Chains A and B, each alone.
Chain A
Amino acid sequence: MSLDNPIAAALAEAMASEHTSYKSTKKFLSKLPVKGKYVIQGPGENAGILDLGGGWALAIRIESHNHPSFIKPYHGAATGVGGILRDIFTMGARPIGLFDFLRFGNDKNSKSLIKEVVRGIADYGNCVGVPVLGGDVYFDDTYSHNCLVNVAAIGLVKKKNIIYGNAFTPGNDLIYVGAKTGRDGIGGAQMASKNLDSLEESAIQIADPFLEKLLLEACCELSETNWTEGMQDMGAAGLLCSTSEVVIRGRKKSHLNLGAEVYLNKVPVKSPDMSPVEMLLSESQERMLIVGKKEHRENILNLFKHWDLEACVIGKVTDDGKYAVVYDDEKNTNISLKMEFKDIFPDIFENWELKKWEPQKNLYNKAERADLRKIWHQYDWMVGARTIKGPNRPGHYAILNAPEIEKEIIIAWSSDEGRCNQSPSEGMDYAFEKCLSRFKMLGAEPLGITNCLNFGHPRDSMGAFSEAIGALSNKCQSYKIPIVGGNVSLYNACGGHSIKPTPILVMAGVRKK
């Protein structure tokens, strides 16, 4: 099968978006140190995982939901929270904390956007029952037409229960669980890789925190069993990405010629007339893919049933090295399409000129304490009963009780606080030092970092990106604190205006009681 086939071509296009391929940034990201004695899992999985000792580990991840939050603030922000929580419990970890990093303009529209964004985060996090333990808020005209909404999450998992997003055994089941597949969010990955000028509201997904809560509990229960071989969240380019990613990871780890067969006619759908491409690319929220051991199929389906979740087998792992899609065409005859992985996942690079960043003149303002209080009062920051230091006291760090390991978990965060505008490398140094100084102050040990790199259009921002990554890489190396995952958000631009470079670092560690 070549790219002459319209489905293969559409899939290849989706997978070639910046959001899924990192085509502009991967050569820079590869400089970052990602290994260390506490790293169980670095970048490349649903979340990074750090060893906390005593048989326990911490899953950590950050994600941006900038564009959706600008277009549809309530659902855009809420689905951002949903996505980051799934990244955590997909690894078998129970989420124990959320953090939000908000950047908005000063105009009237921005003021109404931030209200809705906060309500979206609150409604989602409160319902699922994961405390928002902190974050930060800054205002600058640079964000007037492109706000930033970054959310991070952490979770606890027993080391023996960690689940990876991979498949190893031909014949094992691909099990679909959660919401039905609809047209919502089609093209979300491409949306995150475009300017805000040309975006549609229909590409934003709708959030369902109650369904997420059911998935969370079911997946945490599943992590206590030996019934699964892998688990994968259906995020960007949902069904396509999740079903192929588990196999590709399995291929890399096992060197077996694994493949996948996906039966689209078995996928639960919201509307019956969806095309195969729509189904494969749908980004409907609150869906998960389980790689289930065939002999435990009934056990897995029953576990989901207990939680009132709709689950069904929609495919299997194969040994022919192909990605096959089986679907009904207009004549209602099953048609099977077999594609080479390299067709849908071409290893592509996009090179941009590394122009020096032109500083902008807008002012960068921190939110007032009173305004911040109005925000965190809407978040349940104590559910889970672990919060020792939450947003109620100043300081960009949180302290959580972890009786499991008889230690406290420390999370510290910082952005460049506007400094990248003058010098991207100095801004990044500042963010790093700020996080580190919290750990020193608290007498705690940093174990790893996750980061969200928000930049403008690559044509004027790649120079800044490269500089910032270089600075981060140097800092991580000299202090031996690795990066265990993160997110790159480019194209934060509107009408030829790029946002100021805005990196956000989240450092995780522990302190003895």
Chain B
Amino acid sequence: MKIIDKKLRAGIIRFPGSNCDYDALNFFKKYGHESRFIWYKETQMPPEINILVLPGGFAFGDRYYEKATGEYTINPGELAVKSPVMEIVFAAASKKIPILGICNGFQILVKSGLLPGKLARNDSGKFFCDNIACEVLGDSFFKDKEILGKIFNIPVAHGYGKYIASEPEIFSLETRGHIFLKYKGINPNGSVKNIAGISNEEGNIFGMMPHPERSPDGKYFIKAMEKYVFG
């Protein structure tokens, strides 16, 4: 654990089924930072927050209901996008506050249109969980050039992680350096170009399927966020 003067104050958006909520909360605390939950019904951004995190899990059980009492279809992130807390997320996005979406959080960011493309069912048709080698590239994670080219072992755990987008979109992401993470060796879901994580045009919103909060290399990701927030 290192002592730092400037603390990240992470707001962890908590949906009822966000089961990586505590993992994300503890991830920041473990490295001496502060973190707190923001419940999905809240609409006011707590003023101290300097980074927002949408954690992994099954926000609403991956379900989408047309009406409250009806049948549901499986559609990860779709219901979350309609929840009140998205006001906070959109406000943060326009104020250029950094946002990190992990796994289900990435799915929600994509569904909300804050990140391009889609996350589809894994090619295997099954949930997949294991440690997967991932390479940092493009403009890097929160633009931290120090970790560029590094390969980390990061756990993945998802059923809908296959990143797809139109050819021009992929071309644009690639050439502008917005693909910051790719699977190396094993592609666990059939993602186009082994894409594991992407960022937005402005470079303040990052979405990734692998779980940095579970990785033994988590400190590199924390450090990148520190540098981004405090320069």
Which residues of A are in contact with B by a Cβ distance under 8 Å? 119, 122-123, 126-129, 209-210, 213-214, 217, 307-308, 376-385, 392
Contact = CB atoms under 8 A, between A and B. Distances in A.
Nearest to A128: B19
A385 B214 CA distance: 5
Contacts of A381: 129
23 contacts: A119-B126, A126-B127, A126-B159, A127-B58, A128-B19, A129-B17, A210-B16, A210-B17, A213-B17, A213-B19, A213-B58, A214-B17, A307-B16, A308-B16, A376-B129, A377-B126, A379-B129, A383-B19, A383-B20, A383-B23, A383-B56, A383-B157, A385-B26
A126 B126 CA distance: 12
Interface stretch (B59-67, B92-100, B133-141): B59-67
Q: 3 tightest CB-CB pairs across the interface, nearest first?
A: A129-B19, A210-B61, A380-B157
Contacts of B60: 210
B186 to A, nearest CB: 11
B213 interface: yes
Given A126-B127, A127-B17, A378-B128, A210 B58 contact: yes
Given A217-B16, A383-B56, 20 more contacts: A119-B126, A126-B157, A126-B159, A127-B62, A129-B58, A210-B16, A210-B63, A213-B17, A213-B19, A308-B16, A376-B129, A377-B130, A381-B129, A382-B129, A383-B19, A383-B20, A383-B23, A384-B22, A385-B23, A392-B130
A209 B61 contact: yes
Contacts of A126: 58, 127, 157, 159
Contacts, number: 73
Contacts of A214: 16-17
Contacts of B58: 126-127, 129, 209-210, 213
A384 B22 CA distance: 7
A89 to B, nearest CB: 14
- Tell me which of B26, B27, B214 has the highest count of chain A C-beta atoms within 10 A of its own C-beta: B214
Contacts of A122: 126-127
A385 B22 CA distance: 9
B129 A380 contact: yes
A133 to B, nearest CB: 12
A405 to B, nearest CB: 16
Nearest to A384: B23
B162 interface: no
A380 B61 contact: no
A333 to B, nearest CB: 30
A308 B20 CA distance: 20
Nearest to A132: B129
B18 to A, nearest CB: 8
Contacts of B155: 382
Contacts of B63: 210
Contacts of A308: 16
Interface in B60-97: 60-63
A156 to B, nearest CB: 12
Given A126-B127, A377-B129, A392-B130, A382 B211 contact: yes
Interface string B146-161: 0000000001010100
A324 B23 CA distance: 46
Contacts of A379: 127, 129
A377 B213 CA distance: 19
B50 interface: no
- Tell me which of A209, A380, A383, A384 has the highest count of chain B C-beta atoms within 10 A of its own C-beta: A380
Nearest to A209: B61
- Tell me which of B17, B129, B155, B213 has the highest count of chain A C-beta atoms within 10 A of its own C-beta: B129
Nearest to B188: A377
A382 B157 contact: yes
Nearest to B62: A127
B105 interface: no
B131 interface: yes
A122 B19 CA distance: 14
Contacts of B127: 122-123, 126, 377-380
A214 B63 CA distance: 14
Contacts of B101: none
B187 to A, nearest CB: 14
A392 B19 contact: no
Nearest to A376: B129
B57 A129 contact: yes
A217 to B, nearest CB: 7
A381 B157 CA distance: 8
Contacts of A119: 126
A384 B26 CA distance: 10
Interface in B1-48: 16-17, 19-20, 22-23, 26-27
